[in-house]
Amino acid sequence: MKREIPILLTVICGLLVVAAFFAPAPDAARGLQPSVWQAINSELLEWAKILVAVAFLLGIANVVRINLRQIQARHVDRPYKVVLLLSMFAFLVVGLAEMHERDLPNGIVRVLVPADHVTMKDGHVVAGWVQGATETGIRMRDSDGHDLPEIPHDQVALVSEPSAKMWVYFKIFAPLQATMFSLLAFYVASATFRAFRARSFESTLLLVAGAVVMLGQVKIGNDLTGGMAAPVEAFLMDNFVKAAERAIAIGGSLGVLATGLRIVLGLERSYLSE
Amino acid sequence: MIDVLAAPPFPEALSSAAGWSQWLDAVSWRLAPYLAPDKIATAVAIAVFAWIMFASQRKARRGVEIPIRRLAGLDALDEAIGRATEMGRPVLYVPGTDEIKEIQTIYSMMILRHVARKTAEYGTPIIVPTKNAVVMAFAEEAVRQGCADAGRPDAFVADNIRYLSDEQFAYCAGIAGIMYREKPAANIYMGMFYAEALILAETGFLGGAIQVAGTSRMEQLPAFVAACDYTIMGEEYFAVTAYLTREPSLVGTIRAGDVVKIAAIALFLVGTWLATAAPAGAAGPTWSSVYERLFG
Amino acid sequence: MAAALAFDRRWIYLGLGLLITGLYAFGSPEELPPAAPVQEYYDAIEKLPEGSIVMLSADFDPASAAELYPMFYGTLHHLFRRNIRVVGVCTWPAAPPFSREAFRSIAPQYHKEYGKDWVELGFLVGDDVAMGIIGQSLRSAYPNDALSKAPYDSFPLLRDVGDSSRGIAMLITISAGFPGILEWIPQLCTRYDVPVLAGTTAVQTPSLYPYHPRPLLGYLGSATGATQYLQLVAPGTPALVPVREENQRRMVAQGWGHLYIVALIVLGNIIYFRSRRRAA
Amino acid sequence: MILLQQSPAWIDLDPTAPPDLLGAFLICLLTLSIFSFLYRDNPFYKLAEHLFIGVSTAWYTLEFYDSGVKKALLEYVPEKVHALHDPALAAATEMGGYPVTPGWALAWRMGAVALSLMLLARLVRRDAWISRWPLALIVGIYAALKMTGETQARLVQQIRETMVSLWSADASAVTIAGNLVLVLGLVCVLVHFLFTFKRGRTLAGFSRVGVIVLMLAFGARFGFAVLGRIALLIQRISELSSYGQPDYSMGGRGWVATLLTPPWLVGGLIVLVLALAALSRRGEPEPPAA
């Protein structure tokens, strides 16, 4: 039972999604309506989407558990682990508050969500929390949770909606992630000098093709080679690279097909023995 | 359901490309309420692949020999281990940077078992640093079994299967530390690698070790080809396990892929020939365009 | 060889850092010759009839924004300038802020009205599955929009798209990796016969060649492609001129960075071969 | 490079406002902290790294929650319950374009709720067997979706796209050569990836050519990777230098003003601290660099 039902689920859902792929497409011009296949496919994909999200949220529990354990064990990096957990929870709280601004009690919103400001054309500024826009104007709520009179669109000069979530994104998350990846430029430089060797015919070809692409992509490289680099690079990319990448795509599809078939037909079970 | 009046008629004769084109129009119009006509080729491809896969698996299970070509990188494995033994230095096996859910990591464990059998036969220590506690458990099991396969269960050293760090670059730094301190004579990289491939290959190269790498991930192959002595690339990686284990289901899958590749070559060569032979600037359907339509 | 190579790698880092910083600070913008796929990308947007609906998918995060955000920004200007209606979606969780920033700053410049000329639907979780859902029915994928959280059918633009992805004239994805253009092609483009344009990172560019010109009509590859595209769009769009110049300025440092790497390869190999000859 | 209309505020949470000073300092500090790893592992880097993990985990959680739980369950279910009593809404209820009653839509979505709860059993016990049901479902659906889509796009249609006309009357020599390279190159690489056939001289020859084509493609990939990495680096330098303008200066004029901008101040601080640390470590052996 513990094994059979999951496999049965895999097989049924898999076959339904495969069937929906081949099901007739709706065609309004011919009066072909969406069929029940489209409904099943849509809802199954929706299930998968929800489960992927929930599984990810479970991952948070893991992050907390691992880091708490390291903090308890007085790991050398203990202060950093504390920073990790604190920054994570602080950001989660702020983000959730902004997301649920309309559902949360007024007191919490006042503390956690920065107030919006609507500047009117006459220079007058209204502070509060924007609740949404209607056809006619902007609805706002004041700091006591009371609805303000709707502000007509034609009187509004500027709406400023500050967001702590966006601020953290652009001032902390974005620069950190971008810089982490830009470190690779340095690593590539070091590796090319110290380890990339034309020791065989194959690696020589690789290095030459790499150099041609690097020179052909930029103006100075092209100028230095008397305009040769760009056309050579284009020929290389359009024909040699296209051929190799196409072969790789075909091979990759066969790999996906093989694994997919085995899973959908219930022959592959390794994913259950986690 | 079918409006017979609006349906495109069948051709009078099927002797010309135009006739065939009209026939395809008529058939796909009639099929459309039951099946997406542009996906028939896909259905055929899947069915053919499945059929060959099962047939080959059955054949392999019955004991019919399906040959698998030798891979240069595999021969290199033995050479690398032999050299490490001569020099009296350990072998370093890096099973990639992904978790066990990644298929390449699972395959890496099968290769590890084979490598561990060889090192146990030669009496050479093997060091396996891992990035993940679960992978570590699997790696331990693989090495233990490998030693048992060689008849040397005593060759298994638990301390040599190490968990370093879950952080990518910290893991990488840990491996670099092993390379500096324990000076392995052979570095074997098998599995899923990301940006750290570059740093590993570089550090290993400077240490002077013989390096063998294998991954199906195209993005990281250039670094391995440029800095390693032998590389198992792309699809070859999946053939390694079939070659080592001879497991019928794996061999059958590889066989089916091969047959479909040959069919693909034949199909597009015919299409290329038809396209080249087609009169330039022809107004109506040509044999080439009819043939092309079969592929959706 | 050991002596020549064992010197501290940090000197190589320092050389690269100084070179790039210096050239960025003192270089002046220079024009790049256009490439064919970039021209095709530009032409494909030019050929769209006014009022047609395009789905613009932001599939990147800050890690690749250096290459991709200029493409996204330029494309959105281009689409609005051509009076094409835009449905914005994201399959990367870290993409929405970029997409929102671009929409919010560009739409008013063309007096585009939210819900009629453009709409932002936001992030959809699930990678391939998300794309499958979007392809099956945009309404099921997004019962509400991302900005005002109003129901799908309250927007004239979305009512025109209807259920099926066949209501979309073209997909444009600014794509950094997985999931991205290589997943959109099987899940949406070939399955529902939707033509596609893509802007991608350098790392992903080689993988696109097999799909060009069908179903991928044209593409922008990396910083080079972005600069070439901005050169095509910026004339006639004053707001894009500083962006183009910034990108052209970066390409100078880029060029010298490439020369630096090529020089390192050559130098490293000279040392290698000389030491090998000495050993032999 | 951002050109400011007015001098920046100390802190401004409005994403449309010009970058604020606090933000400028943070961006410079974090960027340079990460770069300091190139010198050696140090507390600045560690702090930035852990902050990055914390903040990014939270960001992804928020977005996954919003798309996969809030919209798909917390908002969807009440909406459909509401539709049960509203004929107009009920008539508009559909699944993937197929009209259904709100009751059906609700019943189906309850399946997802049940499976999500099974998944949550992992919180209690990591090996809870019940949590395998939702996992099995995810695996089955992804496998089916990828298998069909990729066979069409990457196998069948790629075969179709290779059917090029090799030569025509008006084709140039380069075009013809290119077409031949494309078709024969593809054949050779595919032959190289054949594993279960005995290799005669012909097959081995094809395979050899296939390896050459593959190596050229790997070289191109390598060249493009360099292109991308350097572009990222330039963008970081560009962002740092945009905060080195006099607008962000803490005072002074001329080069003093430049030195008192966030990148120089923060950079100076990091260099100072690392230099002091290096002095205090003098005489100790250097650990191997990563």
Residue of C nearest to A42 (CA): C133
- Report pLDDT digits (tens) over D25-59: 999 999 999 999 888 888 999 899 899 989 999 99
If you average pLDDT over residues D62-79, what whole number do you get? 92
**Tokens representing residue A119 in the block:** 């500047």
pLDDT value of position B122 = 93
Residues in chain A within 8 Å Cβ distance of D15 = 162-163, 166-167, 170
Longest dimension (CA), chain C: 79
pLDDT value of position B174 = 87
What angle do helix axes C10-26 and D201-242 make, rounded to 10 degrees? 60
Q: Which of A13, A22, A185 sits opposite D137 (nearest CB)?
A: A13
Say if the ipTM goes beyond 0.95: no
**pLDDT band at residue D74 under the 50/70/90 scheme:** very high
Residue of D nearest to B240 (CA): D195
If you average pLDDT over residues D129-153, what whole number do you get? 91
Q: Which of A11, A41, A251 sits opposite D193 (nearest CB)?
A: A251
Return the sign of the alpha-carbon dihedral for residues C209, C212, C214, C217: positive
Q: Which of A22, A206, A251 sits opposite B35 (nearest CB)?
A: A22
Amino acid letter at D217?
Answer: A
**pLDDT band at residue A204 under the 50/70/90 scheme:** very high
Contact D169 B280 (CB under 8 A): yes
- Report pLDDT digits (tens) over B110-119: 999 999 999 9
Residues in chain B within 8 Å Cβ distance of D157 = 295-296
Q: Percentage of chain D with pLDDT > 90?
A: 58
pLDDT value of position B3 = 59
Closest-CA distance of chain C to residue A236, Å: 11
Residues in chain A within 8 Å Cβ distance of C163 = 26, 34
Residue with tokens 């080079």: C224
C85 touches chain D (CB under 8 A): no
CA distance C253 to C22: 8
Contact B195 A187 (CB under 8 A): yes
Amino acid letter at C118?
Answer: W
pLDDT value of position D5 = 52
At residue A262, φ and ψ (nearest 5 deg) are: -65, -40
Contact A195 B53 (CB under 8 A): no
Contact B223 A191 (CB under 8 A): yes
Closest-CA distance of chain D to residue B144, Å: 24
Q: Look at residue C55 and give its three-state secondary structure.
A: strand
Cβ atoms within 10 Å, residue B103 = 18
String of DSSP letters for D71-112 = IIIIIHHHHHHHHHT-HHHHHT-EETTEE--HHHHHHHHHHH
Q: Which of D239, C124, C173 is nearest to A170 (CA)?
A: D239
Is residue C83 predicted with pLDDT exceeding 90? yes
CA distance A254 to D155: 8
B100 by Cβ neighbours in 10 Å (0-12 / 13-18 / 19+) ranks as buried
Q: Are strands A125-133 and A116-120 parallel, antiparallel or unpaired?
A: antiparallel
C164 touches chain B (CB under 8 A): no
C217 by Cβ neighbours in 10 Å (0-12 / 13-18 / 19+) ranks as buried
Cβ atoms within 10 Å, residue D71 = 23
Residue of D nearest to B170 (CA): D290
CA distance B75 to D251: 68
Is residue B1 predicted with pLDDT exceeding 80? no
If you average pLDDT over residues A188-200, what whole number do you get? 89
What angle do helix axes A174-194 and D201-242 make, rounded to 10 degrees? 130
Query: Which of B30, B199, B206, B228 would best serve as a mutation to test chain A binding (most A beta carbons within 10 A)?
Result: B199
pLDDT value of position A274 = 47
Q: Which of B38, B219, B296 sits opposite C203 (nearest CB)?
A: B219
String of DSSP letters for A156-167 = EEEEE---HHHH
Cβ-Cβ contacts under 8 Å for C27 (sequence gap 6 or more):
C249, C252, C253
pLDDT value of position C202 = 93
- Beta bridge partners, B44, equal none
Contact B258 D194 (CB under 8 A): yes
Closest-CA distance of chain B to residue A149, Å: 53
- Report pLDDT digits (tens) over C153-210: 889 999 998 877 778 999 999 999 889 999 999 999 999 899 999 999 999 999 999 9
CA distance C223 to A92: 34
Contact C12 A241 (CB under 8 A): no
At residue C149, φ and ψ (nearest 5 deg) are: 55, 30
Q: Are A32 and B32 in contact (CB under 8 A)?
A: yes
If you average pLDDT over residues A157-170, what whole number do you get? 88
Q: Which of B74, C165, A35 is nearest to D98 (CA)?
A: A35
Please give the mean pLDDT across all residues of chain A: 88
pLDDT value of position D3 = 46
Cβ-Cβ contacts under 8 Å for C18 (sequence gap 6 or more):
none
Residue of D nearest to C152 (CA): D92
- Beta bridge partners, A160, equal A117
**pLDDT band at residue D132 under the 50/70/90 scheme:** confident
129-148 in C: which are within 8 Å (CB) of A? 129-130, 132-133, 136-137, 140, 148
Is the pTM higher than 0.90? yes
pLDDT value of position B12 = 85
Chain-centroid distance of CA A228 in Å reads 40
Q: Are B126 and B115 in contact (CB under 8 A)?
A: yes
String of DSSP letters for B189-211 = EES---THHHHHHHHHHHTT-EE
- Report pLDDT digits (tens) over D83-97: 999 998 888 888 888
D171 touches chain A (CB under 8 A): no
pLDDT value of position B2 = 52
Contact D194 B261 (CB under 8 A): yes
Q: Which of B9, B4, B7 is nearest to B23 (CA)?
A: B9
Residue B125 backbone zone (phi > 0: left; psi -120 to 50: alpha; other: beta): beta
Q: Are C114 and C85 in contact (CB under 8 A)?
A: no
C97 touches chain D (CB under 8 A): yes
At residue C244, φ and ψ (nearest 5 deg) are: -60, -45
**pLDDT band at residue A120 under the 50/70/90 scheme:** confident
114-133 in C: which are within 8 Å (CB) of D? 122-126, 128-129, 132
pLDDT value of position A107 = 84
**Start-to-end C-alpha separation, chain C:** 13
- Report pLDDT digits (tens) over B188-203: 999 999 888 888 998 8
Q: Which of D162, D196, D197 sits opposite B268 (nearest CB)?
A: D162
- Please calculate the CA angle D141-D147-D152 and round it to the nearest 5 degrees: 135
Please give the mean pLDDT across all residues of chain C: 91
D75 by Cβ neighbours in 10 Å (0-12 / 13-18 / 19+) ranks as middle
Cβ atoms within 10 Å, residue B19 = 16
Considering only residues D170 and D112, tell me which one the structure prediction assigns the higher pLDDT.
D112
If you average pLDDT over residues A123-145, what whole number do you get? 82
Residues in chain D within 8 Å Cβ distance of B243 = 195
Q: Look at residue B66 and give its three-state secondary structure.
A: coil
Q: Which of C260, C203, C262, C280 is nearest to C23 (CA)?
A: C260
- Report pLDDT digits (tens) over B65-95: 888 888 888 888 888 999 999 999 999 999 9
Query: Would you state the torsion angle of the CA atoms of residues B130, B132, B136, B139, taken in this order, to the nearest 10 degrees?
Result: -70
Chains that touch C (3 or more CB pairs under 8 A): A, B, D
Chain-centroid distance of CA B291 in Å reads 31
Is residue D66 predicted with pLDDT exceeding 90? yes
- Report pLDDT digits (tens) over D181-208: 999 999 999 999 999 988 889 999 999 9
pLDDT value of position C72 = 96
Cβ-Cβ contacts under 8 Å for A210 (sequence gap 6 or more):
B222, C265, D219, D220, D222, D223, D226
**pLDDT band at residue D126 under the 50/70/90 scheme:** low
CA distance D153 to D130: 36
- Beta bridge partners, B94, equal B189
Q: Are A49 and C131 in contact (CB under 8 A)?
A: no
Considering only residues A113 and C76, tell me which one the structure prediction assigns the higher pLDDT.
C76
pLDDT value of position A106 = 84
- Report pLDDT digits (tens) over D104-116: 999 999 999 999 9
pLDDT value of position A11 = 95
Q: Percentage of chain B with pLDDT > 70?
A: 98
Closest-CA distance of chain D to residue A190, Å: 11
Contact B198 A184 (CB under 8 A): yes
pLDDT value of position D115 = 94
Q: Which of C5, C193, C203 sits opposite B206 (nearest CB)?
A: C5
Is residue A270 predicted with pLDDT exceeding 80? no
**pLDDT band at residue A168 under the 50/70/90 scheme:** very high
Q: Which of D69, D23, D54, D61 is nearest to A90 (CA)?
A: D54
Closest-CA distance of chain A to residue D192, Å: 10
Q: Percentage of chain D with pLDDT > 70?
A: 94
Cβ-Cβ contacts under 8 Å for B210 (sequence gap 6 or more):
B76, B79, B80, B83, B185, B186, B187, B229
If you average pLDDT over residues D213-242, what whole number do you get? 94
Residue of A nearest to D22 (CA): A171
Is residue A235 predicted with pLDDT exceeding 70? yes
Q: Are D43 and D31 in contact (CB under 8 A)?
A: no
Contact C64 A45 (CB under 8 A): no
Chains that touch B (3 or more CB pairs under 8 A): A, C, D
pLDDT value of position B164 = 86
Please give the mean pLDDT across all residues of chain B: 89
Q: Which of B173, B181, B182, B166 is nearest to B202 (CA)?
A: B173
- Please calculate the CA angle B5-B9-B11 and round it to the nearest 5 degrees: 165
179-218 in B: which are within 8 Å (CB) of D? 180-181, 199, 218
Rg (CA), chain D: 30
Residue with tokens 């796909």: B28
Is residue C226 predicted with pLDDT exceeding 90? yes
If you average pLDDT over residues C83-87, what whole number do you get? 96
175-214 in C: which are within 8 Å (CB) of A? 191-192, 206-207, 209-210
